[in-house]
Amino acid sequence: MSGTEDLLVDADRLAAELDSADPPTLLDVRWRLTGPPGRDDYTAGHLPGAVFVDLDTDLCGPPGAAGRHPLPDPAALQAALRAAGVRSGHPVVVYDGGDGMSAARAWWTLRWAGHTAVRLLHGGWPAWVAAGLPTSTEAPTPPAGDVEVRPGALPVLDAADAARLAAADDGVLVDVRAAARYRGETEPIDPVAGHVPGAVNLPAPDYVAEGRFPAADVLRQRFAAAGVLDGRPVGAYCGSGVTAAQAVLALHMAGRPDAALYVGSWSNWVADPSRPVATGEQPAGSAPSA
């Protein structure tokens, strides 16, 4: 897939597609880092025909040394997607509560699993409601899907890969957490503060605002200001691979489908106390955040 139209869909267009003879499979992946569970939101109201899929238990593996949101077991992911009605080659649309983060991680996971026909509802649930489109409290039971999970369709970094990329003269590892977390001034979640040595900081609000992405040329400019240049390998990380998946989506929009996700992110990096930790401002010679 290439082009924004293959990555995002607006509410009015999605409504027309859902009213067609062959609508896309619709996945509600609302989620909050600190709770309450997204299923509560789904039960209160969702897009008609949407099936709830849990980010923590369906789309990720159990938390541990691999990170707070590690890669899922392929067989478990396949079972969860089939239960949600995902069919091989059939379009899927994912949406969340509006910030675009859990939906982006769902988008990334399906793409990583080899299912290319997946888009994100731009603006999520709030955009749908604001458009005055119908909602439902009925939880459908879709026919079982037949999707086959084939891991590895999108590039993934582990800790060693991330370290090499951050240290490479011709590569860039982007840390998309808030600047204070990058600098090591605060760490509200993980046990160690700081960043991967050599990584550059581009906080998520610099390229996405309240789940809304700017135009592709604007994204290219903002990533270029952080050192993401044509032909230069790029990877992204955050706290646990959710916000960074949104960065990978933005990089796809900016024409970088080769962008890699460090899935374990900071929560994996600090699980090994032998890994070095940097604090303070941007590395010497790196471009500042846009």
- Active-site residue set: 238
SS3 at position 163: helix
Neighbours of 39 (CB within 10 A): 15
Assess contact for 275 and 159: CB atoms under 8 A: yes
Neighbours of 157 (CB within 10 A): 24
Per-residue burial over 76-97, b = 16 or more CB atoms within 10 Å of its CB, e = otherwise: bbbebbbebbbbeebbbbbbbb
200-201 and 172-175 as β-strands: parallel, antiparallel, unpaired? parallel
Assess contact for 275 and 191: CB atoms under 8 A: no
Strand order in the sheet with 260-262: 156-157, 260-262, 234-237, 172-175, 200-201
Handedness of CA 81, 87, 89, 93 (dihedral sign): negative
CA-closest candidate to residue 154, choices 268, 63, 263, 66: 263
Backbone dihedral angles phi then psi of residue 97, each to the nearest 5 degrees: -80, 5
Q: What angle do CA 127, 131, 132 make, to 5 degrees?
A: 125
SS3 at position 128: helix
